[in-house]
Chains A and B, each alone.
Chain A
């Protein structure tokens, strides 16, 4: 595997074409990654980033063109062949073998026995400054730890080329920083890295070179220092109006006189204790904290997916005692889950059917497709869902559009309180701006919104009031202009005592 060549092309992609069912996805892509380079790859949803990376990793067979890894051509699409040439793709959605141990998950497919690689794995974990039980069954891992397993797979293979597809989307800022340190180390060792991210801040932090994809073609490419953020976003989105970088829009509204729509009083359950807050009509409450702070558990308990231990929940002044998802939906409380692939969408069902997910019990014994079609078309225009039609399978949409379909599903239930759990995870800049705009519009219409996010920028931009949670406790509240990324981070990391900090 070790090759002591001078700085040379680690990956060379020449004139790749690929189309799915007549729709071209990649239109003659040429891209080069040098050894020791961190190459940022940006693009909107459906721009072709994933297809391009899958082609390089041997998961997709291109119609035309060639891929060369470390000087050897990848002659046929096979992940095994690509890995043999020293490349590993760390996918955005971690692939986990639930019944195997973490160690086996990491070492699977390698020649050496897992036992022999144990020390090495432990050393790598220390470098990443994460604690992960190598003997735990992988099924018990949280989404962030699954991502760590994927990253570990790439590292332990001593790959000369790594593709990191939004590696930080599930990590805490602390873990993300440790990952970046590791990336810099690898870069020193001459490893070439493709880094896919939607966060310009991250890209600025560790990348040297940037390429922007739009509609299957590279529209901007060169050293990162040559471009400012505005140019990059403009290249991605093309249209001028959405190039505005998201900023905090202060909505100086006094909510004191508004109706209280959701009242949570000393609420305890699995993973959180003694949480109290209120949401007023039209207010966006940010629920900030790091992964594992108990926010998703709180949301799932509110929505009746988990059993509560004690405490009261009132919706519009009426006690919500019997909580099941269906009761909550009917009462006007709707939850947008964190993991859209697992809990949000019916990936193989049509978009219209997905939209009706929360309202199926209202459709009658013989659901009629007419009203459903009208409703879907309305959401399609209002939310800007890019799709072939309402009968398309949800799994074939890009991340941002899937998220919009999920939002349509929530809105179809006509909620009065909406709990959004990480609504922009794995969503590109343009779609993210769309979603931000939608959330503000909804609040303007009088909806109470609870926004759960680990992205403190996002909270800063959207929330009217912020509740910070750490280790299952409510550890602070910020209001109005006091809402800054620093203030949130201070509360989230320090008051609870972060285990790794």
Chain B
């Protein structure tokens, strides 16, 4: 049981989330409904998309703190094109391209110019935000055309096209990272870069690919953002980079690279977003949001940490118990006071 939760950070978080839902449902009747689920889902879309990109970067043992600005910049590119009469399709294409280029810049800085990723993306965080402001002249982009806003409309079953797109990207990234050879390289590069290089893996290409993918996913988040609120403020995406890193940590992605899964991201983001909606139902003033979100994040991580330590201890005890009794009946080596469980542990241990 303990073992299962330790190996599955996602399971721990799932259990905590379900428990939280049940408790809130008891405290505020009417919370557990399809409409709440629909609200939480659509509120999660932006963070989901950004977090997914951030995960790919973190897997390769880098970090991307520029995603909020990439979101803003690509949303502005989208808005300007639309307001200048370009079609939705071409505007979205150019918007995604802008995200890809921003990611490429990050990737090149990190791999080819050897700037540590935290510094490089901290730099581009300011740079992209600044470039966005230059493009808009410091003004908000308003009155976005109806076709864009229509993307965010929930259909008959409470699911918008955007939801479908994000879910599809989740599945695509999951399949890519788990099933393809190049996808496994992401894990390898983050786990031990030198080893990956020894094994002939194109280490630099993998890292650049991660940054470019993060840029594209941030641009998708930019489209969702613009479609959902119908205008683009100057601070679009501000602070999302840290929220997405929090969602990654919560979802069991190791900041040291090499481990993390897409389902983890999904649960992490849903958990973070549902806190906001729950507070509304519980009639807690909105200014409590950050405090409670932070406290819950710490609580989950602490809990997870304790479970891990307990399991590690159990594993250690089992591993070293191998040596306690003599593995083969050898005369005079050991008192015959061993328990059967020990003997079994030693057999499986070897």
CB within 8 Å of B: which of A142-166? 153
Check B200 against A109 for contact (C-beta < 8 Å).
yes
- Is the Cβ of B350 less than 8 Å from the Cβ of A79? no
B330 touches A108 (CB 8 A): no
Measured between alpha carbons, how far is A342 from B177 in the docked complex, in Å? Answer: 30
Which residue of A89, A99, A297 is within 8 Å of B191 (Cβ)?
A99
Contact string, B327-347, partner A, CB cutoff 8 A, digits 1/0? 110100110000000000000
| Contact present for A272 and B200 (CB under 8 Å) | no
Residue of B nearest to A469 (CB): B323
For A97, give its contact among B191, B320, B350 (CB under 8 Å): B191
B259 within 8 A of A: yes
B143 at the interface (CB under 8 A from A): no
What A residues does B195 contact at CB under 8 A? Answer: 95-97
B184 and A95 form a contact (CB under 8 A): no
Which residues of the partner chain A approach B201 to less than 8 Å between Cβ atoms?
80, 108-109
A79 to B198, CA, bound (A): 6
Q: Mark A35-64, 1 if CB is under 8 A from B, else 0.
A: 000000000000000000000000100000
When the two chains form their complex, are residues B324 and A273 in contact, meaning their CB atoms are under 8 A apart?
yes
Chain B residues with Cβ below 8 Å from A499 are: 327, 350
Stretch of A120-128, A207-215, A471-479 lying at the B interface: A471-479
Which residues between 131 and 155 of chain B lie within 8 Å of chain A, taking CB atoms?
none
A3 sits at the interface (CB 8 A)? no
Q: CB distance A78 to B200 under 8 Å?
A: yes
Among B238-264, those with CB < 8 Å from A are: 254, 258-259
Q: Is A104 an interface residue (CB 8 A)?
A: yes
Pick the contact of B320: A78, A91, A131, A270 (CB < 8 A).
Answer: A270
- Most chain B CB neighbours (cut-off 10 Å) among A91, A97, A98, A270: A97
**Bound-complex Cα distance A144 to B324 (A):** 21
Q: Which of B181, B315, B327 contacts A497 (CB 8 A)?
A: B327
Give A109 to B182 CA distance when docked, in angstroms: 9
Q: Given A98-B192, A270-B316, A497 and B200 touching (CB < 8 A)? A: no
Rounded to whole Å, the gap between the CB of A165 and the closest CB of chain B is 12
The reply on B197 being an interface residue by CB < 8 A is yes
Quick check: B333 and A271 within 8 Å, CB to CB?
no
- Whether A357 is near chain B, meaning CB under 8 Å from some CB there, is no
Q: Are B326 and A473 in contact (CB under 8 A)?
A: yes
Is A294 interfacial (CB-CB < 8 Å)?
yes
Against A, the Cβ 8 Å flags (1 = close, 0 = not) of B281-315 are: 00000000000000000000000000000000001
A95 and B192 within 8 A (CB)? yes
* Most-contacted residue by chain A among B200, B315, B322, B333 (CB, 10 A): B200
By a CB distance below 8 angstroms, the chain A residues around B323 are 271-273, 294, 471-473
Interface mask (A97-130 → B, CB under 8 Å = 1, otherwise 0):
1111000100011010100000000000000000
In the bound complex, do residue A100 and residue B191 qualify as a contact, i.e. CB atoms below 8 Å apart? yes
Tell me whether B187 is interfacial, beta carbon within 8 Å: yes
Which residues of the partner chain B approach A475 to less than 8 Å between Cβ atoms? 333
Task: Establish whether residues A80 and B192, one from each chain, have CB atoms under 8 Å apart when the complex forms.
Answer: no
> Are A497 and B330 in contact, with the CB atoms below 8 A?
yes
| B201, B316, B320: most-surrounded residue (chain A CB, <10 A) | B320
Q: Is the interface on chain A under 10, 10 to 19, 20 to 34, or 35 or more residues?
A: 35 or more
B199 at interface, CB cutoff 8 A: yes
B188 touches A97 (CB 8 A): yes
Kindly identify which residue among A98, A111, A497 contacts B328, using a CB–CB cutoff of 8 Å.
Answer: A497
Q: Which residues of B contact A82 (CB under 8 A)?
A: 200
A131, B234: Cα distance in complex, Å: 61
B194 within 8 A of A: yes
Q: Is B202 an interface residue (CB 8 A)?
A: yes
B254 cross-chain contacts in A, Cβ below 8 A: 99
Q: From residue B46, how far is it (CB to closest CB) to chain A in Å?
A: 29
Does A453 sit at the interface, judged by CB under 8 A? no
A91 to B350, CA, bound (A): 26
Residues of chain A lying within 8 A (CB to CB) of residue B202:
80
The answer to whether A97 and B192 touch across the interface, beta carbons within 8 angstroms, is: yes
Is there a chain B Cβ closer than 8 Å to A495's Cβ?
yes
Identity of the chain B residue whose Cβ is nearest the Cβ of A80 in the assembled complex: B200
Contact of B327 among A109, A273, A471 (CB under 8 A): A471
Closest-by-CB residue of B relative to A494 is B330
Cα of A59 to Cα of B315 in the assembled complex, Å: 38
Q: Which residues of A contact B334 (CB under 8 A)?
A: 473
* Residue in B197, B258, B323, B334 with the greatest tally of chain A CB atoms within 10 Å: B323
Residues of chain B lying within 8 A (CB to CB) of residue A113: 181
B188: chain A residues within 8 A (beta carbon): 97, 100, 108-109
Q: Are A495 and B327 in contact (CB under 8 A)?
A: no
Take A97-B191, A99-B258 as given contacts and tell me if A79 and B324 are in contact as well, using a CB distance cutoff of 8 Å.
no
B252 → chain A closest CB, angstroms? 12
Q: Which residues of chain A have C-beta atoms less than 8 A from B327's C-beta?
A: 471, 496-497, 499
* A401 on interface, CB distance cutoff 8 Å: no
Query: Contact check: which of A89, A99, A496 meets B187 at CB < 8 Å?
Result: A99
A83 within 8 Å of B by Cβ?
A: yes
- Minimum C-beta distance from A433 to chain B (A): 32
Contact status B200-A83, CB under 8 Å = yes
> Is the beta-carbon distance between A472 and B191 smaller than 8 angstroms?
no
Q: Which of A84, A95, A272 interacts with B198 by CB under 8 Å?
A: A95
Per a CB cutoff under 8 Å, which of B184, B197, B316 touches A79? B197
Quote the shortest CB–CB distance from A470 to chain B (angstroms): 9
Chain B residues with CB under 8 A of A153? 199
Please give the distance in Å from B38's CB to the nearest CB on chain A: 36
Within 8 A of B (CB), among A262-294: 270-273, 294
Contact between chains at A100 and B198 (CB < 8 Å) = no
Report the Cα distance A140→B202, complex, angstroms.
Answer: 27
| Cross-chain contact A91 with B326 (CB below 8 angstroms) | no
A496 to B299, CA, bound (A): 47
A100 CB contact (under 8 Å) in B187, B194, B320, B322: B187
Closest Cβ–Cβ distance, residue A246 to chain B (whole Å): 32
- A residues near B192, Cβ cutoff 8 Å: 95-98
CB nearest neighbor in B for A292: B323
List chain B residues, Cβ under 8 A from A99: 187, 191, 254, 258-259
* Residues in chain A near residue B333, CB distance under 8 A: 473, 475, 495-496
Measured CB to CB, the closest approach of chain B to A413, in angstroms, equals: 29
Contact A59–B198 (Cβ < 8 Å): yes
Closest CB pairs A-B (n = 6): A472-B323, A95-B195, A80-B200, A497-B328, A109-B199, A97-B191
17 pairs, CB–CB < 8 Å, chain A vs chain B? A80-B200, A80-B202, A83-B200, A96-B195, A97-B196, A97-B258, A108-B184, A270-B316, A270-B320, A271-B323, A297-B320, A471-B326, A472-B320, A472-B323, A473-B333, A496-B327, A499-B350
A residues with CB within 8 A of B: 59, 78-84, 89, 91, 95-100, 104, 108-109, 111, 113, 131, 140, 153, 270-273, 294, 297, 471-473, 475, 495-497, 499
Contacts beyond the supplied A100-B187, A473-B323: 13 A-B pairs with Cβ under 8 Å: A79-B198, A83-B199, A97-B195, A100-B191, A100-B258, A108-B184, A108-B201, A109-B188, A109-B200, A471-B323, A496-B333, A499-B327, A499-B350
